[in-house]
Each structure stands twice: as C-alpha cells, then as structure tokens.
Amino acid sequence: MKSILGVITALIVSFGTSGCDMQYDFLEVPENSQFEVHYIDVGQADSALVECDGEAMLIDGGNTADSSLIAAYLKQEEIDSLDYVICTHAHEDHVGGLSGALSVAQAEHVYAPVTESDSKAYKNFKKKTEEQGLEIEHPDAGDIISLGSSRVEFLGPVNEKGKDTNSTSIVMKITYGSTSFLFTGDAERDEEAEILETGANLKSTVLKVGHHGSDTSTSYPFLREVMPQYAVISCEKGNSYGHPHEETLSRLNDAGVEIYRTDLNGNIVMTSDGQNVNVVTEK
C-alpha cells in the first residue's frame, strides 16, 4: 500500500551530538502549503484531525457518545470528505465515534489493525465503512502514504499475535517539513519495545502520549528515541483511571517536554510552517 510522494523528496540528515548520531526527517514544503493537527477534547477517549493542503485524516473518534461531537467538529472545519480514517485499535473509546464521522463524510481509505472486536461500537464502525463501499485496510509497519505534502509512516503494530488489544495499536509518524507528529494510540511498553527493535526513526516534534498518559506506556527507552518538544495527553478531568499517571508526567518533565492536556486545555490545535509548531488551546 505504499504511495509515491510526487515531487516531495524525503531526506535523512544526520547530526553528531555528544558522539551520537541523531536522525531528523525533512520534507520539502511547497509554497502556500498548510498543515494543522486538532487534538479534539473527547473526555476519557481519543480523537485527532489532521489537515494538510486540503486533505484530511481522522485518527480515532472517541466514544460512541462522541459521535455527534465528531460530526459537528468536521462540519465546523467544513470537511465532508476524509482521505483517511484511522481506527488505531478496537477499543470503544477510540473507535466509537468514527461511525458518526462516517455518517457525515465520505472516506477514501479506512485503516484498522487486523485485531477486531465483537463490540457494538466496532460493528457499527465496520458497517458504516461497508455502507460507503469500502473495506477496512490493515497497514503494515513500514508502509508509507501521503497526506497533502506530508508523509505518513506506519511504525506499528509490528506483531499483533497474542497481544492485548492496546498493543495492537496503529502507531504512525506524520512528517511535515522538518516537524513531525507521532501518534501512538494505546500502545504499551511491549509494542514500544518492538517498534524500537525495528530501528525506525522515532524522533518527533510532538508526541501524542500513549494510553491517555498511563504508566504502562511512554517508557524511558521509547521517550529517549522520540525526544519530543511537545506532548499531548487526551484524558478527562477526574477520570477513574487516574490518567495521566504521575510516573508518566515525571518522565516527560525529566525530558523537558512541554505538556498539553485536553482535560486542562480543551481542544488543542497545532499548526506547522514546516519549521516551527504553533500551539493554540481552547482553555
């Protein structure tokens, strides 16, 4: 399912720092190009909308109860078609609201892991996909697609066999110019370790923190490779899980990461000019 990025050239530039080589991705950004990521406040759930040069990708849709919120957000952004719809994994707090999105927008491609669920939420998502004449596609680690002038690389899951559903999460990195955005679903330490073993370049400007900031994700080895400038945590105020966990916040603070949270900041919109990321929050 690999696609060619037209005139966009991907370069890998190596810099020596303290005796180590750190790799940075770079993509040429055309004139009048635009890129933004909306981290949508869906409470104790997950959803993000990525827009680039008139193309759009929705990553998760919150809970089933968030369907109308997601539909309204797409209408607010004047989006009636989605180039890509991504269900990172089959849990309701990620797949639930995607049926609402597919009720108001025509999709070109719908992606999900191989691991499914017999839940009503997942069945509705699958039904809406089929009603649009589409089949759910299963990306492999290493696959690359384009969204406008940005590049989307799938890094995980590397292996879904025998895994907890969280660790079958689609993990992907979106690169725009010299900025990049890493989305990790609910990937836990075992999936993070498998991705690290592939040798993929994880260095990213922004990390969407795994599993709502749970201590089961964002391990020190993984965070050392990502080394983000910003982190975004999607969670609900006073949630029963205690997300985000203090251990995760401590690791992020130790790494000097600037943290944004939907429970504190509401909707979070990040725009990139290819070199710098600008952050605007609802609260």
Is 223 inside a domain boundary? yes
What is the domain-level CATH number for residue 86?
3.60.15.10
Check if the beta carbon of residue 89 is closer than 8 Å to that of residue 111. no
Domain range for 125: 10-281
Is 64 inside a domain boundary? yes
Phi, psi for 76 (deg, rounded to 5): -60, -40
Number of domains in the chain: 1
Give 92-135 pLDDT, tens digit per residue: 999 999 999 999 999 999 999 999 999 999 999 999 999 999 99
Is 218 inside a domain boundary? yes
Longest dimension (CA), the chain: 55
Is 4 inside a domain boundary? no
* Average pLDDT over the chain, rounded to an integer: 92
Per-residue pLDDT, averaged over 22-45, amounts to 88
Give 194-250 pLDDT, tens digit per residue: 999 999 999 999 999 999 999 999 999 999 999 999 999 999 999 999 999 999 999
**Least confident piece of the model among 20-34, 41-55, 266-280:** 20-34
Is 2 inside a domain boundary? no
pLDDT computed for residue 8 by the predictor: 35
Percent of the chain with pLDDT over 70: 91
Is 170 inside a domain boundary? yes
Give 257-272 pLDDT, tens digit per residue: 999 999 999 999 999 9
Q: Is the pLDDT of residue 28 over 70?
A: yes
Query: In the 8-state DSSP scheme, what is residue 65?
Result: G
Is 268 inside a domain boundary? yes
Helices (H), 78-171: 92-95, 98-104, 120-131
Cβ-defined contacts of 139-144 (< 8 Å, 24+): 139/1, 139/111, 139/170, 140/1, 141/195, 141/198, 141/200, 142/198, 143/1, 143/2, 144/2, 144/3, 144/5
